[in-house]
Structure 1
């Protein structure tokens, strides 16, 4: 489960309206009939249209300055293993979102009218998406890039020959291009994977737009606060502040596991990812200390992340294991680990 929280920006400035972001989230509905479309929802409502989301989010930013975020985007990305466990992606993820947002509210160290913040104070709208496209930062695109560069060079050469600016054998160049297309290491449906190509398999994930201000448009609730739990004086009054991002991410896993009776392996836990960042050697030692069946699953999951790990003849010496795998693991899963932490 990878979760990110970001303040929405346009260039160097915070977005003053949610229009562009909401319209972006409508992209999967293009060309589909109403019955096939995914609409926005919130804690109690369904079938909410984009116009209402924009109106409600944009109208809920009283007294916020231009240099302050007006709303945040929370993206919840279940892993392929988690998605495979679900029976109905749309309905299951909607139910999960509603439970998740209860914990989102609980992790604010704030009070509203003398009581803790609860989910009814949070103005949010969420949407399930089922598709993802390859981006420049994806491993498949990066490793296919040398082939893409050479293919582009050959195509430019062909164009110059056709324009009479260069002499050469176009037929021979086209054969070289065809050979490079097949040799590219990452293929999908017999074609070289390129940017914008839709990813295979289930890609269901959740986008949540949450207002910076509470439901009454009075209190500021910022998940971007650098404070976990502290107090300050505002207008002469003692005010609590802060948001516990670590606890929110931890609870996100616990809610999913309880709600769907999911048996989470140690390797895919927040605890493990956090340990990997702080102390890779202890991380490897922890995996080696798992019961045999759980350890086997852990290494299979690591293999799916991009590591070539033999499941047989794994070094038993913990220091030896850390030494052999650390560099390669960092190269292949650092990006996933970083997106797995809740970053502002």
Structure 2
């Protein structure tokens, strides 16, 4: 499971204005079919209008929204059968983790976000195959490529903030501005309290998938393994490789044992069928027909 939050940049990666351009781009595969925390089939125009107006006290050059990309592996997609309904449920669980990861005591309903499931991906300049010249940029990738794009407002849900403020549930003057790209990580004092730990979020999203769908994740598929292989010391990488190899050998041994037991189970079933007593058959007694009397026989001969 890859949980990616692209940084701001030029073109469609620019987050300081309207999200209309990115929403239009994400309509390329199929139009509509956006969903939110509690709604399905939200039209693109409503997505743009809702996200664009959910802002307050942000500078002109400040980011107004962010994108979260949830990309399950092909093994994870096979596990859930690429079921769009399960992917939507998982996305909502991932956004609950997104809210919790800010450390501000908020939850999914304190966010304004819309998401969309896509089933195709194309090669880009960062793909190794493109860099070495094996494939061209923009070529469709093979295999299951289902993933989810989430557009989430930087400002917390203003309608809910106002409602809670009027009810006396909040004593803070302004709504939260929530940036997953902040460098603050669980800070306790200062202007920014909380922050966003991106490494922790990736692990939480991974765990949410495993818990939701009962997925037994091999160590080699974990974020911890990938992060260690990329950023760990040689000693840490070697230790984790050894642990992953032992786990793989243990899994293979269990699978082989299960395969050996399978023929034995079939043999036991066949023996049970062979020795089972045949069901008793009920014999219906033959009905004896009466012999015709002398008078009836004599009439027949006379005819």
Residue number in structure 2 paired with 1:21: 22
Given that 2:130 and 2:136 are in contact with CA atoms closer than 8 Å, whether structure 1 keeps it comes out as yes
Residue number in structure 2 paired with 1:94: 88
Q: CA deviation at 1:233?
A: 5.6
User: Which structure has more RCO (C-alpha within 8 Å, separation ≥ 6)?
Assistant: 1
User: Does residue 124 of structure 2 align to residue 141 of structure 1?
Assistant: no
Residue number in structure 2 paired with 1:105: 99
* SS of corresponding position for 2:112: strand
Residue number in structure 2 paired with 1:264: 217
Q: CA deviation at 1:4?
A: 1.3
Q: Which runs of 5+ in 1 are unaligned?
A: 30-36, 111-115, 146-185, 187-192, 299-344
Residue number in structure 1 paired with 2:154: 212
Q: How does 1:209-248 map to 2 (within 5 A)?
A: 209-216=151-158, 218-232=175-189, 240-248=193-201
Change (3 A) 1:51 1:233: same
Residue from 168, 193, 199 that aligns with 2:141: 199
Runs (4+) of structure 1 exceeding 6 A deviation are none
Change (3 A) 1:51 1:296: farther
TM-score by length of 2: 0.71
Q: CA deviation at 1:109?
A: 2.1
Q: CA deviation at 1:245?
A: 2.1
CA–CA separation in structure 2 for the residues paired with 1:2 and 1:297: 24
User: Does residue 6 of structure 2 align to residue 6 of structure 1?
Assistant: yes
TM-score by length of 1: 0.63
User: Does residue 243 of structure 2 align to residue 289 of structure 1?
Assistant: yes
Residue number in structure 2 paired with 1:306: none
Per-residue CA deviation, residues 12-64 of structure 1 (Å, 9 max, x unaligned), is: 964311011101110102xxxxxxx5611011100001100100111012111
Q: CA deviation at 1:210?
A: 0.5
User: Does residue 115 of structure 2 align to residue 129 of structure 1?
Assistant: no
Q: Which runs of 5+ in 2 are unaligned?
A: 160-174, 253-303
Residue number in structure 1 paired with 2:280: none
Residue number in structure 2 paired with 1:44: 38
Q: CA deviation at 1:94?
A: 0.6
RMSD: 2.4
CA–CA separation in structure 1 for the residues paired with 2:251 and 2:44: 42
Q: CA deviation at 1:292?
A: 4.4
CA–CA separation in structure 1 for the residues paired with 2:178 and 2:247: 44
Structure having the higher Rg = 2
CA–CA separation in structure 1 for the residues paired with 2:14 and 2:246: 51
Residue number in structure 1 paired with 2:109: 120
Residue number in structure 1 paired with 2:54: 60
Given that 1:8 and 1:73 are in contact with CA atoms closer than 8 Å, whether structure 2 keeps it comes out as no
Change (3 A) 1:65 1:86: same
CA–CA separation in structure 1 for the residues paired with 2:209 and 2:251: 19
Given that 1:134 and 1:197 are in contact with CA atoms closer than 8 Å, whether structure 2 keeps it comes out as yes
Given that 1:14 and 1:66 are in contact with CA atoms closer than 8 Å, whether structure 2 keeps it comes out as no
CA–CA separation in structure 2 for the residues paired with 1:48 and 1:269: 33
Residue number in structure 2 paired with 1:74: 68
